[in-house]
Structure 1
């Protein structure tokens, strides 16, 4: 991405986050994003096909940055610290966008962000398995890839549900409380439990 595209992405990111927080992503249009960002509508379409796609891109980029900061080999002295720091930073990210996540996760009718979060967490878990940083228990006679995929999806979707429940608590939300509850429902072999 060249410098001009990066500047546009920064403006579009701020605009879609502000509009989604204020109005809900379903009420946001590409025109309103362009106006708020001070760019042409065609510029918005260069980055995403819809407001929801742009919102997911912006939030996923923030989540990817957290993952890269903590789950890269050598980032922390041990996997327990890496997972704890990642969890804490993800919670701070979610809390900083609480108006968006609460609206998009907290409604049975809205699945706008559930899939994005779940896919991000699934990928993170699979990366940890593939790198050998976390080795889940194996069941003889069952394909290891199927076991990894099942476990990753279970942890990912459970994490989204736990975050949704945590977001339903009044601010200020306590990361430590989440971590204790989360660790109590994770498998005993998971480094946060």
Structure 2
């Protein structure tokens, strides 16, 4: 069982880093200002993370993981296409909630936090989908599921980057574009 103090400290650090990262790139956040915002000292910070970017990465990942877990439990009986699009929409909800953080991360030349978090998340979604899809007809071509998941998952990040930084905010257009990245055999044929 995790110590309640650790849980509280991490929650405080996550809230503080999300708040600070919405005002400037994570690479400009200092440990001192993050410690003050989280109401802890620097020593306590270093017991949990090495950098503010690491704390931000974990805070964003935790939010995405909760959304994915909720989606998967509520969509267990859904058609594969509906389940996939619903999990994609939940990721876009997360991105919109943290639009300022991702915009800073995508536009700061030395901050790869947003791209890393989203590529990892999308790759995970695609891998889970592929694992489920392997059990459905028609049979799939031979491929390495992890390589294909990585290709498609990281491929989703580019359009999301453009969607956030270009001022385009038409979600349906983004989802149609992301759907084009999926191969023809992606969704099983209706019986």
TM-score normalised according to structure 2 size:
0.84
Unaligned runs of 5+ in 1: none
Confirm whether residue 183 of structure 1 aligns to residue 179 of structure 2: yes
Match of 1:148 in 2: 145
The number of equivalent residue pairs is 185
Match of 2:140 in 1: 137
Contact kept, 8 Å, 2:16 with 2:38, in 1: the verdict is yes
Classify 1:107/1:33 alpha carbon distance in 2 versus 1 (closer, same or farther; 3 Å): closer
Contact kept, 8 Å, 2:105 with 2:113, in 1: the verdict is yes
Question: 2:156 pairs with 150, 154, 159, which one?
Answer: 159
Match of 2:87 in 1: 86
SS at match of 1:77: coil
Unaligned runs of 5+ in 2: none
SS at match of 1:22: coil
Confirm whether residue 168 of structure 1 aligns to residue 171 of structure 2: no
Contact kept, 8 Å, 1:70 with 1:83, in 2: the verdict is no
RMSD: 2.5
Contact kept, 8 Å, 2:21 with 2:101, in 1: the verdict is yes
Greater displacement, 124-133 / 93-102: 124-133
SS at match of 2:22: helix
Contact kept, 8 Å, 1:34 with 1:41, in 2: the verdict is yes
Structure 1 residues 49-103: Cα deviation after superposition (integer angstroms, max 9, x where no partner): 1111000000011111111112348544222222111111111111111111112
Contact kept, 8 Å, 2:106 with 2:112, in 1: the verdict is yes
TM-score normalised according to structure 1 size:
0.83
Greater displacement, 77-86 / 103-112: 103-112
Match of 2:35 in 1: 34
